[in-house]
Amino acid sequence: MAFLDNSGDIILDAVLTDAGRLAMARGDGTFKIVSFALSDDEIDYGLYNKNHPSGSAYYDLEILQTPVLEAITNNSVSLKSKLVSYSDPNILYMPVLKKNTVADGKNTKLSTDSATPGLYVIAADQTTMNKIGTVNAQPGVLNGVNPARRASYVRIDQGLDTTELPKDRRLSPDQLETQYTIEMDNRLGFPVSLNGNQRPNLRFVDDDNIATYLLSSTRDRGGTLTSTGGFVSDIVGQSREEILTQATDTESVLAGPPGSKIQFKLATTLDLQSDTNYFLFKRLGGTSTFTDSAGAAFNVRHIDTLVRVTALTTGYSIDVPVRFIKYDSSL
């Protein structure tokens, strides 16, 4: 790791992603560079100086001479702020992703348990689920063994979060997301559809055990956004008539024009379910308590992690905090 000397000539420093290195290592002739990404993670645009004494040619001099690190190969820390290009020069607001914790009654709410406020909690095995209780008394608790048996799920809304534009305004195709990725620790769990029957397409697992899943959608002849498993759909229909009639959608957390939404549940891996020695919990987590549906606390082992959702058109990403818990009678 080192800084690039950009005090003079422009230097282009490019590296392969984990998926690219894996493809090249196969050595079967299939390796081919088909895309690239740029970011401005280390740039401080506050250094732009319109009052530079030498004139306009020097306004951005400090920005151009900012020391930047060499291209980083670790995907967990690189390319956090990707650059995008738009053909429309009149775009004033960029789409964002926001966790929706108000839709569908209490089914999208975060946990309110005193030990896990502001998290989604995933029960790692059936014993833990039995201790919690099968009723949906506590919000934010997902059944990691049989996701379909509990209504709680994660929902992310995409669109413009501004009151400067009316909700009945349609997003341009450049701003409407139809593809997302979900990244999470492959040792702990994986995303599933709301009915628990579908898993999204697994693209690859990197050297840090982070799995990347692709969620794609298409528009049918009627203009409706559809995807296998129902992972991606419109918040409201994108025809003007549909937007006008549903502009007061109280389930959207966006202040402005809505786009698409992504919704999913989380299931636990077989290793996490069946490990009676709590290996990963001891190595990666800690101990705490959780409250059952009757209000009684019980001891659990837990692992805190993040599930990252990224919109592929704009590159915008959001981290969803989750906690995997497993009952341990020895605590």
Helix/strand/coil for 279: helix
Please state the length of the chain.
331
Q: What is the mean pLDDT of residues 230-252?
A: 64
Q: What is the mean pLDDT of residues 60-72?
A: 81
Give the β-pairing of 297-311 and 179-185.
antiparallel
Asked whether residue 222 carries a pLDDT value surpassing 80, the answer given is no
Long-range contacts of 292-295 (CB under 8 A, 24+ apart): 292/131, 292/132, 292/133, 293/132, 293/133, 293/135, 293/137, 293/138, 294/133
* Model-wide pTM > 0.85: no
Please name the residue that has the structure tokens 């969803």: 320
pLDDT tops 50 at residue 248? no
Taking the C-alpha atoms of residue 311 and residue 181, their distance in angstroms, rounded to an integer, is 7
Name the average pLDDT for the chain.
85
Q: Are 266 and 322 in contact (CB under 8 A)?
A: yes
pLDDT at 68: 78
pLDDT for 2: 64
Higher pLDDT, 69 or 211: 211
In this predicted model, which residue has the larger pLDDT, 6 or 103?
A: 103
Find where tokens 């004139």 sit: 55
Q: Which amino acid is at 118?
A: G
With contact defined as beta carbons under 8 Å apart, do 259 and 235 qualify? yes
Local structure of 297: helix, strand or coil: strand
User: 118-152 pLDDT, tens per residue?
Assistant: 899 999 999 999 988 865 567 889 999 999 988 89
